[in-house]
Amino acid sequence: MFMGEYQHNIDDKGRIIVPSKFRENLGSQFVLTRGLDQCLFAYPMDEWHLLEEKLKKLPLTKKDARAFTRFFFSGAVECELDKQGRINIPQTLRKYELIEKECSVIGVSNRVEFWSADKWSDFVDDSEDSFAELAENLLDFDL
């Protein structure tokens, strides 16, 4: 399980350190792709394969299903940690996420998310006020 929040910088070559707490569970190779809310999702290979199987079951006849899977899979890249525990985030993904330098790396249960530090700060600010309301709306899910 991934949890916690870390701040790292992307260097001029597009490399970022993956927090050491996340490296073991991500493994030496994992998948990075466009996520929701303009962040990037990183999945360990076993989680990626589970997600891939679920997405394959979406009906090809549904326009939203086709659009989502195209967007999700077309942005996916296999990442490999270098000796310093870094990955290279491709320019297309950095552009989607709007990362220029400062990055927030957060653990979210079965995945790691990479956020522009500014976007993450805005998300936290917006969510703090509605956290209790969000929790109330999720009571039906037995949380």
What CATH class is the domain 2-141? Answer: alpha beta
Taking only the tens place, the pLDDT of each residue in 79-98 is 999 999 999 999 999 999 88
User: What pLDDT shows up at residue 142?
Assistant: 58
pTM above 0.85, yes or no: yes
CB atoms within 10 A of CB 3: 11
Give the CA count within 13 Å in the CB-facing half-sphere of 50: 7
Tell me which residue of 22, 28, 30 sits closest to 105, measured CA to CA. Answer: 22
| Integer Cα distance of 58 and 56 in angstroms | 6
- Which positions of the chain have pLDDT values less than 50? none
What are the boundaries of each domain within the chain?
2-141
